[in-house]
Protein backbone atom coordinates (compact mmCIF):
# COMPACT_ATOMS: atom_id res chain seq x y z
CA UNK A 1 0.00 0.00 0.00
CA UNK A 2 0.97 3.63 -0.36
CA UNK A 3 0.29 4.73 3.21
CA UNK A 4 1.95 4.29 6.59
CA UNK A 5 1.20 0.94 8.14
CA UNK A 6 1.48 -0.14 11.75
CA UNK A 7 1.30 -3.50 13.42
CA UNK A 8 -0.24 -4.90 15.43
CA UNK A 9 -3.41 -2.83 15.34
CA UNK A 10 -4.23 -3.92 18.88
CA UNK A 11 -2.04 -5.35 21.62
CA UNK A 12 -3.06 -6.57 25.03
CA UNK A 13 -0.25 -7.44 27.39
CA UNK A 14 0.35 -8.07 31.05
CA UNK A 15 2.16 -5.65 33.29
CA UNK A 16 5.88 -6.31 33.24
CA UNK A 17 6.00 -7.81 29.76
CA UNK A 18 7.92 -6.28 26.86
CA UNK A 19 6.15 -5.21 23.67
CA UNK A 20 7.33 -4.28 20.19
CA UNK A 21 5.34 -2.02 17.89
CA UNK A 22 6.17 -1.79 14.22
CA UNK A 23 5.88 1.03 11.71
CA UNK A 24 6.32 0.88 7.95
CA UNK A 25 6.62 4.41 6.58
CA UNK A 26 5.82 5.61 3.10
CA UNK A 27 8.58 4.64 0.68
CA UNK A 28 11.03 7.48 0.17
CA UNK A 29 10.11 9.32 3.37
CA UNK A 30 13.26 10.05 5.29
CA UNK A 31 11.60 11.36 8.45
CA UNK A 32 9.74 9.13 10.89
CA UNK A 33 8.01 10.08 14.14
CA UNK A 34 6.47 8.16 17.01
CA UNK A 35 3.73 9.71 19.14
CA UNK A 36 1.66 8.52 22.06
CA UNK A 37 -2.00 9.47 22.36
CA UNK A 38 -3.67 8.80 25.65
CA UNK A 39 -7.43 8.99 26.16
CA UNK A 40 -8.53 12.61 25.99
CA UNK A 41 -5.00 13.84 25.46
CA UNK A 42 -3.22 15.34 22.51
CA UNK A 43 -0.26 13.83 20.76
CA UNK A 44 2.80 13.31 22.92
CA UNK A 45 5.99 13.29 20.87
CA UNK A 46 8.23 10.33 21.62
CA UNK A 47 11.06 10.05 19.09
CA UNK A 48 12.07 11.34 15.66
CA UNK A 49 14.31 9.82 13.01
CA UNK A 50 15.67 11.82 10.08
CA UNK A 51 17.72 9.96 7.51
CA UNK A 52 20.98 8.69 8.91
CA UNK A 53 21.18 11.29 11.65
CA UNK A 54 21.09 10.37 15.31
CA UNK A 55 17.46 10.17 16.43
CA UNK A 56 15.89 12.84 18.61
CA UNK A 57 14.88 10.87 21.70
CA UNK A 58 13.89 13.87 23.77
CA UNK A 59 10.27 12.76 24.11
CA UNK A 60 10.81 9.27 25.43
CA UNK A 61 9.21 9.18 28.91
CA UNK A 62 11.60 6.72 30.50
CA UNK A 63 14.46 4.37 29.73
CA UNK A 64 11.93 1.57 29.31
CA UNK A 65 11.14 3.07 25.92
CA UNK A 66 13.43 2.69 22.95
CA UNK A 67 13.14 2.72 19.18
CA UNK A 68 15.22 1.86 16.20
CA UNK A 69 14.94 2.34 12.50
CA UNK A 70 16.62 -0.20 10.32
CA UNK A 71 17.87 0.63 6.86
CA UNK A 72 16.20 4.01 6.99
CA UNK A 73 12.79 2.41 6.60
CA UNK A 74 10.94 0.22 9.09
CA UNK A 75 10.92 1.33 12.71
CA UNK A 76 10.25 -0.60 15.90
CA UNK A 77 9.21 0.99 19.18
CA UNK A 78 9.98 -1.22 22.16
CA UNK A 79 8.51 -0.82 25.61
CA UNK A 80 10.16 -2.92 28.29
CA UNK A 81 8.53 -3.96 31.55
CA UNK A 82 5.22 -2.40 30.55
CA UNK A 83 3.18 -0.52 33.12
CA UNK A 84 -0.55 0.20 33.13
CA UNK A 85 0.12 3.87 32.43
CA UNK A 86 1.69 2.82 29.12
CA UNK A 87 -1.78 1.98 27.84
CA UNK A 88 -2.43 4.33 24.92
CA UNK A 89 -2.56 4.54 21.16
CA UNK A 90 0.88 4.69 19.63
CA UNK A 91 0.94 6.56 16.35
CA UNK A 92 3.66 6.56 13.75
CA UNK A 93 4.03 9.21 11.07
CA UNK A 94 6.41 9.79 8.22
CA UNK A 95 7.25 12.79 6.10
CA UNK A 96 9.52 13.63 3.20
CA UNK A 97 12.00 15.36 5.48
CA UNK A 98 14.30 18.15 4.40
CA UNK A 99 13.37 21.80 4.22
CA UNK A 100 10.96 22.15 1.33
CA UNK A 101 7.38 23.34 1.68
CA UNK A 102 6.06 19.82 1.49
CA UNK A 103 8.66 18.38 3.79
CA UNK A 104 6.80 18.83 7.04
CA UNK A 105 3.44 17.31 6.09
CA UNK A 106 3.07 14.18 8.16
CA UNK A 107 1.30 11.04 7.05
CA UNK A 108 0.01 8.99 9.92
CA UNK A 109 -0.54 5.32 10.34
CA UNK A 110 -3.73 3.98 11.96
CA UNK A 111 -1.98 3.41 15.27
CA UNK A 112 -1.45 0.54 17.64
CA UNK A 113 -3.81 0.39 20.61
CA UNK A 114 -1.88 -0.93 23.57
CA UNK A 115 -3.63 -2.14 26.69
CA UNK A 116 -1.54 -3.16 29.67
CA UNK A 117 -3.46 -5.23 32.20
Partner 1 sequence: AQSVTQLGSHVSVSEGALVLLRCNYSSSVPPYLFWYVQYPNQGLQLLLKYTTGATLVKGINGFEAEFKKSETSFHLTKPSAHMSDAAEYFCAVSRSGGSYIPTFGRGTSLIVHP
Q: Which residues bind partner 1 (CB under 8 A)?
A: 4, 31, 33, 35, 40-43, 45, 48, 50, 53, 56, 91, 93, 97, 99, 101, 104-111
First to last CA, the chain: 33
**Which CB sits closer to partner 1, 49 or 116?**
49
Whole-number Cα distances in Å, 85 to 38, 50, 61, 94, 108: 9, 28, 11, 26, 23
CB of 74 to partner 1, least distance (A): 17
CB of 37 to partner 1, least distance (A): 9
Amino acid sequence: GAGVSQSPSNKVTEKGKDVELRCDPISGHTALYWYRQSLGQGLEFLIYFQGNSAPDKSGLPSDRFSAERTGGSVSTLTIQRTQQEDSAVYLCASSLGGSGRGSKTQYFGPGTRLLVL
